[in-house]
Structure 1
């Protein structure tokens, strides 16, 4: 498998009133095409910082970040981001929110009807065609997040970056959207990097789970390969011994190894 993202000896520091704060130190990671990778760890371990570095929203203070063999020097259409907050423009309809992104990426080389067709396909993919002409305030939180995911996939990014996309949702809505995302990833073969605090979510969705050490100067502590066949069914996995083993391995790292170090 080809590495679509390479993180080599990356460090990230910030100047604060109390002095220099080292968020990340000596981070090394390769993410392969078509792979789903979750970043997990305690609050303040630099998960979102690492995601923002891959997105190009911030630049590292040391080390090298590469995407498709090129240095990441800023945001780009090949890397789409879905935040915990849906970030929809409230004065635009659901269709218009997705269409705006499509137009920015494909507007220079495709006609009006082709852009509309792309938008419609993206909404249909997340089963939101029925809400195309509604404003964000007229739909539920889970539906808003579906629109955010549709907007990201409509850009046809090489990498989808997700920062706790379901963190603000109730358990049932979260489960429904996780299943929805599994279906979309199967259709698109997307490369996904996702920040999560949810151990079950990490095992359910991921090919690998990257476990971060506690900050400051956080780094990658362990990487767990999730060798469960796809597509995955949450009800079947509830009775799968391997699922329980993977879950236990992550919990052991987070709540035994890391908590002992912090004590």
Structure 2
């Protein structure tokens, strides 16, 4: 595997009133270009902390993180984050919310007309061209999440980081957006790291599932290769023995960790 993102001996400690809290320790992971990685584990295992280290929103207290052989030092347009909360500006239209990100990255490099083309293309990619003039308060929760994804994709990031982007949605909307995400990733060739608590989501979407041990001082406990062929169809997978075997592997890991309360945060 050709390494694109490298996480080497990464650790993260926070200084609190009660002393030092070590969230992560000795995290080592190589990610290939175009790979879809799912991070899974119990609450408090440092999944979001690890994602924030890759995003540059936190600086590792130990180790180093490299993207294309360059050390990650702070946020950058080559990495875009989609949070569970869509974080749209309520006074801006769908188009304007996406355009704001496009202008931040490409403003001054391209004429305004081209920035509008980029914005429209991103909305079309997530199936929201018809809602371009609507305010966030006028669209559904699932559509808001698609705007957040469009905003991230419009920046043309090298790495797309997703922190439980579908966690607050109902089951049908979540399934629809999972299917849409698979199509978008196939079309863009994006490298994706996604935090999830959903075992089925992890198996359906990812190329590898990174399973985290319980915190504090969490680390990678195991990595599971998801060698299911693409494109993936959730209805066919429901009857696929290999899918169920992979799902069972993840559930067994999580169950075994749940039985170790001394590791819990």
Range of TM-score over shorter length: over 0.9
Post-superposition shift, 1:37?
A: 0.1
What is the aligned partner in structure 1 of residue 149 from structure 2? Answer: 149
What is the aligned partner in structure 2 of residue 260 from structure 1? Answer: 259
| Cα RMSD, aligned residues only | 0.8
Secondary structure of the residue aligned to 2:169 is coil
Secondary structure of the residue aligned to 1:12 is strand
What is the aligned partner in structure 1 of residue 33 from structure 2? Answer: 33
Structure 1 residue runs of 5 or longer lacking an equivalent are: none
TM-score, normalised to structure 1, is 0.98
What is the aligned partner in structure 2 of residue 94 from structure 1? Answer: 94
Q: 1: distance between equivalents of 2:106 and 2:191?
A: 20
Post-superposition shift, 1:101?
A: 0.6
Aligned positions of 1:59-208 closer than 5 A = 59-208=59-208
Secondary structure of the residue aligned to 1:204 is helix
Q: 1: distance between equivalents of 2:121 and 2:184?
A: 12
TM-score, normalised to structure 2, is 0.98
What is the aligned partner in structure 2 of residue 248 from structure 1? Answer: 248
Secondary structure of the residue aligned to 1:115 is helix
Post-superposition shift, 1:68?
A: 1.0
Post-superposition shift, 1:262?
A: 2.5
Deviation sequence 1:38-75 (CA, Å, 0-9, x none): 00000000000000000000001111111111111100
Secondary structure of the residue aligned to 1:39 is strand
- The runs of at least 4 aligned residues of structure 1 exceeding 4 Å deviation read none
Post-superposition shift, 1:94?
A: 0.3
Q: 2: distance between equivalents of 1:111 and 1:228?
A: 43
Structure 2 residue runs of 5 or longer lacking an equivalent are: none
